[in-house]
Amino acid sequence: MLHPQARALIDLMAARGVPPTHTLPPAEARRVYRERRAFTQPEPPAIERVEELSAAGPHGTIALRLYAPGSDVGGLPVLVYFHGGGWVIGDLDTHDTLCRQLAIGAGCAVVAVDYRMAPEHRFPAAVDDCLAATRWLRQAAGHFGLDATRMAVGGDSAGGNLAAVVAIAERDAGAPPLRLQLLIYPATDQRRGAPSHAANGQGYVLTAETMDYFHDHYIADPAHDLDWRASPLLHEDLSGLPPAFVLTAGYDPLRDEGLQYAQRLSEAGTRATLVNFERQIHGFILMGKALDEANTAVALCAAELRRAFT
């Protein structure tokens, strides 16, 4: 049962002739995605501190944006956030409202990462940037009034993929443990063979064609589908990872990839909580102006962050 608000939004998009992402060249798809947010996203809430930062990356400077709801003498906990958009679209502005909401709701800082995009920069460019930004922030945290001992990673869709990969890479590197991995309808398996891809591949905004569009722009070599840095579900060892909060949507092609990843984490002894918004579509957490359940999802994520940092 699709939520009536989600059904109304899908019908409105069709009536207005919103072009499917896969029909647009990447530059145009980015513009449309950026402009579309005004129709579905709430107004960005005021927050005490917003700073533009930059980190040194392996292939040049990485832009970051810091959000903080005030200051803390002992240092604020911090979520490193990777935006969604299929590794092709999305930026700091498309996820500005969500980052503000999470910072305010969780009482933490959020540092959003503007990683390099495909097809200009294919896999593993985004992974390299996200990992470099996380490690840079860990070293520089004190300078910005942040507590490097209370760090989490998170992201939605492609960003959830990147957060999961960063969590694995940091564990393997012997880095201090992260407090949480916040995985919002994450892509975890580039093979795209889970049942939900067939069940939800048409009619719910994110279609099978758009999934292929994102994949083919990001992945140059089909062999990379089996690389855990592209498909974290395929990593042979998911033990010893940070606790995970995995949020999925019932009418999302990626629904089962989130379910499968949460299950594999739990089977490996990593604490994982899965919450499925059965009546929602992919991308819904950004749509609080049109979908009431989006605001509930944001509040749940913020509560999980607050609990992990306490």
State yes or no: is 282 an active-site residue. yes
The sign of the dihedral angle between the CA atoms of 199, 203, 205, 208 is positive
Other beta carbons within 10 Å of 54: 13
Q: Is 95 a catalytic residue?
A: no
Contact assessment for residue 190 and residue 215, using Cβ atoms and an 8 Å cutoff:
yes
3 state DSSP class of 229: coil
Q: Active site residue: 91, 95, 157, 196, which one?
A: 157
Is 266 annotated as catalytic? no
Token digits of residue 9: 């939004």
Cβ atoms < 10 Å from Cβ of 19: 11
Which one of the listed residues 197, 217, 235, 282 is annotated catalytic? 282
CB 44 within 8 A of CB 97: yes
Q: Are 211 and 197 in contact (CB under 8 A)?
A: yes
Q: Judge residue 160's burial from the number of C-beta atoms within 10 Å of its C-beta, 0-12 exposed, 13-18 middle, 19 or more buried.
A: buried
Q: How far apart are CA 272 and CA 251, in angstroms?
A: 22
The active-site residue, picked from 114, 129, 252, 256, is 252
Q: How far apart are CA 247 and CA 185, in angstroms?
A: 6
Residue labelled with tokens 């609990």: 307
Tell me 247's DSSP state: E
Active site residues: 157, 252, 282
